[in-house]
Amino acid sequence: ILGVRDIHADHAASHIGKAQGIVTCLRATPYHSARQKVFLPMDICMLHGVSQEDFIRGKQEKNVRDVIYDVASQAHIHLEHVR
């Protein structure tokens, strides 16, 4: 962007983009769940014993919150790389 040619800037922009994508996915989870769709990583859901149905039904139990926390933590890790 703006003619900047720097490998470090490209690397930072990549991590910022990944963090933003993860956050956008999390913010859209209630919207998609209301439409019977879940776009969260199933490996993390399975790790916490959460099914897609739990999101579709709007459950807010601890294990569902733990899935959200783990996914949000991945965004945080990308931001830490940028710093």
User: Can you give the pLDDT at residue 6?
Assistant: 81
Measured CA to CA, the distance from residue 18 to residue 76 in angstroms comes to 10
Q: 5 or 48, which is more confident? A: 48
Query: What does the block give as tokens for 18?
Result: 């990944």
Measured CA to CA, the distance from residue 35 to residue 78 in angstroms comes to 29
User: Can you give the pLDDT at residue 1?
Assistant: 60
Min mean pLDDT across 6-15, 43-52, 62-71 is at 6-15
User: Can you give the pLDDT at residue 9?
Assistant: 83
Measured CA to CA, the distance from residue 1 to residue 66 in angstroms comes to 37
User: Can you give the pLDDT at residue 26?
Assistant: 97
Residue 58 has pLDDT above 70, yes or no: yes
